[in-house]
Chain A
Amino acid sequence: MSSTIVSLTDIHKHFGSNHVLDGLNFAVESGECVGLLGHNGAGKSTLMNILAGTLAIDSGEMRIGDRKVAAHSVNDAHLSGIRCVFQELSLCPNLTVAENVRVLHHGLSGWGWRKRAARLITEKLDEIFPDHGIRSDAVTSDLTLTQLQMVEIARAFTEVDVPVKLVLLDEPTSSLDSTTADQLLNYVQTATARQQAVILISHMLGEIVRAADRSVVMRDGRVVATFNRGATKNELVAAMGNVAAETHGSAPARTSNTGELRVDLAVKGERVTARKGEIIGLAGLAGHGQTEVLLEVFEQARRGSSIANGTVAFVAGDRVRDGVFPSWSIGANLSISATPRLSRAGFISLESEAALGQAWRERVRIKTMDMNQPILSLSGGNQQKVLFARALAADADIVLMDDPLRGVDIGTKLEVYRLIQSEAEQGRTFLWYSTELDELVYCDRVYVFRSGHVTGCFSADEFSEDKVIKASFEEVAL
């Protein structure tokens, strides 16, 4: 017996002159998992914020159950059983896991609240992610990114006084490794079986195909296609409006390289080497030492040691934390690493800087008319392109990439892959940490990491996804 949990009819939403939602019709029934797909800028986040109560609709009708809702607030959403797990984590780092549960539930106070909160979160974590190993009295800032995501997801499913009817998950597996992602997708099935509903926003088409009962594709602020379970990845991609679909696996054959050795770092179990013109992949489950290797190479290169020979540039994966300078323009963000080259006696030549910006805007296809616009006016994918351009404009011998394409739309990804290949052909060395197996086909050599050790090293001919996965899970005696 299913009933409509929430329905949106002809919703319009503007941000200034930007028509973000343009006649959106969307509904969720209990007991179903709805996959939500679309390019960056299609309106998915806005839709999610409207359901969560953090944004108001400009026009249209919103109903929760049978009730027509005029002004939907965050508290309304909570009381209606709607829970959201946003991409940016909503945990307080200074509080413990149990204390963060209290933050979500207004009714969790009074004598013994701490024990109740601890029990709630531990039970839910056990239910969704068996063998999670997370203590409820752990301070949140001590947890890894994966654990944080697990806690946030589990917390969303906890119930104190209001039953959970609908859970929105925005890119929930972006920080999870394959085991926990698997556990989550299994749990989605369990949840829908007991008549809860889940909205799953994901760029991972494999996940959508597996978990969603119904897939909704958004484009330009409205729903353009709906598929039932059984649709193929290609059908979904085609509906999103991207012509260049699956081109993975068509990377050019990598010839063996005898260029100068640029990186020679001893990591437990192996030496990670990289030559001029090579693209080296760092693979494995998320958070197993890959970023540490990148940062070590960065340090060594800056110090001018023999371990990393040459100038170095870094492309951040978490652009808010490690990359973007929010007060600056696009051009200033792009040129910052190149400023020593653009200046004489410490004074920057504005003409050279502008020329640099124009050149890279065209090369990387940054969607803006004016490089003097603030960087935050760009979409996430385009901001990521600027960070790439920054690293490449620095004209460094070694470019380190910290899983920069996580959560980026497929169009941007393909453009960046092309860029990496062409730069490598001209002699640049890339050290590329990626959590997506598809991307590793572009690499000359892949090192697989587990618990800070290198458990596998595959050259381009030896490479296969199965081998990488196997090495990712190989137990390492610590």
Chain B
Amino acid sequence: MNALLQPARLRAALPVLSLLIVVLPMFYLQPQTFSYFGINTLISLAVTIVLATMAQMCVITVNDLDLSIGSFVSFVACVGASVLQQSTVLGIAVLVGCVLVYCVIGMLIEWRNLPSIVVTLGMSFVWLGLALLLMPTPGGSTPEWLQQLVQWHMPVIPLPLVAAVVIAVATHFFLMRSAWGTLLRGAGGNGRALARAGWSLLWARGLMYALAGVFGVLSGLTLVGFTTSADANIALRYTMISIAAVILGGGEFVGGRISPCGAVIGALTLTLAASLLSFLEISPTWQIGAQGVILIIVLSLRAVIGRTRA
């Protein structure tokens, strides 16, 4: 029992606990949500936020913050509903280009020692502007193949749930267990040590940002696969939620300490909290406030349990 109550373990259990606290009342109040259809509906849009959270986590791993992820995902959604629809090849080329841009941004930040907050702030204007140029008014339509892919009715277990688990496991394996992921985390822990050991921090940061770009692209594509049309503002709120989810999941802003599984759970918790509130018939006025309350409660619990660094 003593081993179970160790601070590290309790802190790791917090994200799971908070998810259960949100999910169990939901199943109690509306038992039919615990069904294929129910889970599918609840988690569908959560997957897009999970992916955005993974992107944010990659950037946080190298001690940076991405204030542009929301507008980036919106831009990708707009591309998906316009360029991709007209020409698959051109659409994919644009999206690959976006990932390269992210990589270059990361390298630029490393090379000139720029504050990521400012650079991503600037990029958030850029992505929003590009989205507006592409789609001045909401509209467009998602290609059929993308809709079918994203909304595929998987037998037995809903696709969104499987997707969330796969994302968590794959990212965990890469970042926490593999030799290369460990190296990238080390870049966040002590970049100088890595440089002294002969690694290129330029590539380390560039790679993490590129990975963030990939997650961002996936997030935007799944989003537009569900909503079937897009607008430039569709995912702006993802920026704040993704930061909150990474922290909720046990990640820290500085030091390269992150938890992929925790971040996924955190993203699910925050998204499902909104649904819980409508089940509890709490006025929409307070839905946004409730997300703040959840964050505060979970973080105070963490402070109570043990040392919090960050």
- Asked if A and B touch directly (CB within 8 angstroms), the answer is yes
- Name A96-123 residues within 8 Å CB distance of B: 99-100, 102-104, 106, 108-110, 113-114
Once bound together, how far apart are the Cα atoms of A181 and B194, in whole Å?
27
A103 B255 Cβ-Cβ under 8 A:
no
A102 B183 Cβ-Cβ under 8 A:
yes
B196 A94 Cβ-Cβ under 8 A:
no
Residue of B nearest to A74 (CB): B198
Question: Could you say which of B13-21, B142-150, B185-193 contacts chain A?
Answer: B185-193
CB within 8 Å for A90 and B193 given contacts A73-B198, A95-B186: yes
B5 CB, nearest partner CB in chain A, Å: 18
Contact of A94 among B194, B197, B199, B256 (CB under 8 A): B256
B186 A92 Cβ-Cβ under 8 A:
yes
Once bound together, how far apart are the Cα atoms of A92 and B181, in whole Å?
14
B196 A99 Cβ-Cβ under 8 A:
no
CB within 8 Å for A91 and B190 given contacts A102-B179, A108-B179: yes
B183 CB, nearest partner CB in chain A, Å: 6
Judge if A313 is at the interface, Cβ distance under 8 Å: no
Judge if B41 is at the interface, Cβ distance under 8 Å: no
Once bound together, how far apart are the Cα atoms of A233 and B295, in whole Å?
62
A179 CB, nearest partner CB in chain B, Å: 27
Once bound together, how far apart are the Cα atoms of A73 and B196, in whole Å?
10
B188 A94 Cβ-Cβ under 8 A:
yes
CB within 8 Å for A113 and B179 given contacts A95-B189, A99-B186: yes
Encoded as 1 (CB less than 8 Å from any A CB) or 0, chain B from 165 to 192 comes to: 0000000000001011011011011101
Contact of B189 among A54, A78, A88, A92 (CB under 8 A): A92
Judge if A52 is at the interface, Cβ distance under 8 Å: yes
A92 B194 Cβ-Cβ under 8 A:
yes
CB within 8 Å for A109 and B179 given contacts A90-B192, A103-B186: yes
Encoded as 1 (CB less than 8 Å from any B CB) or 0, chain A from 120 to 153 comes to: 0000000000000000000001000000000000
B178 CB, nearest partner CB in chain A, Å: 8
Judge if B257 is at the interface, Cβ distance under 8 Å: yes
With a CB–CB cut-off of 8 A, which chain A residues contact B185? 92, 94-95
Judge if B195 is at the interface, Cβ distance under 8 Å: yes
- Total count of chain B residues near the partner, CB < 8 A: 21
Residue of B nearest to A107 (CB): B179
Once bound together, how far apart are the Cα atoms of A95 and B191, in whole Å?
12
- Name A57-81 residues within 8 Å CB distance of B: 73-75, 78
With a CB–CB cut-off of 8 A, which chain B residues contact A90? 190, 192-193, 196-197
- Total count of chain A residues near the partner, CB < 8 A: 28
Once bound together, how far apart are the Cα atoms of A52 and B180, in whole Å?
24
Once bound together, how far apart are the Cα atoms of A464 and B153, in whole Å?
82
CB within 8 Å for A92 and B198 given contacts A102-B183, A103-B186, A113-B179: no
With a CB–CB cut-off of 8 A, which chain A residues contact B188? 94
Once bound together, how far apart are the Cα atoms of A78 and B182, in whole Å?
20
Judge if A340 is at the interface, Cβ distance under 8 Å: no
A109 B189 Cβ-Cβ under 8 A:
no
CB within 8 Å for A75 and B179 given contacts A90-B193, A92-B190: no
B197 A104 Cβ-Cβ under 8 A:
yes
B159 CB, nearest partner CB in chain A, Å: 31
With a CB–CB cut-off of 8 A, which chain A residues contact B183? 102-103
B257 A103 Cβ-Cβ under 8 A:
no
B189 A93 Cβ-Cβ under 8 A:
yes
B179 A93 Cβ-Cβ under 8 A:
no
With a CB–CB cut-off of 8 A, which chain A residues contact B197? 74, 78, 90, 103-104
A106 B189 Cβ-Cβ under 8 A:
no
B189 A94 Cβ-Cβ under 8 A:
yes
Residue of A nearest to B187 (CB): A92
User: Could you list 7 examples of A-B contacts with CB < 8 Å?
Assistant: A52-B196, A92-B193, A94-B188, A102-B183, A103-B182, A103-B193, A106-B199
Question: Beyond the given A94-B255, A95-B256, A108-B179, could you list 19 further A-B residue pairs with CB under 8 A, ordered by the A residue number?
Answer: A74-B196, A74-B197, A78-B198, A86-B196, A90-B192, A91-B190, A91-B193, A92-B193, A92-B256, A94-B188, A95-B182, A95-B185, A95-B186, A102-B179, A102-B182, A103-B183, A103-B186, A103-B197, A141-B255
Residues of A within 8 A of B (CB): 52, 54, 73-75, 78, 84, 86, 88-95, 99-100, 102-104, 106, 108-110, 113-114, 141
- Ranked 9 nearest A-B pairs via Cβ: A92-B189, A109-B179, A94-B189, A90-B193, A92-B186, A75-B198, A74-B198, A94-B256, A92-B190
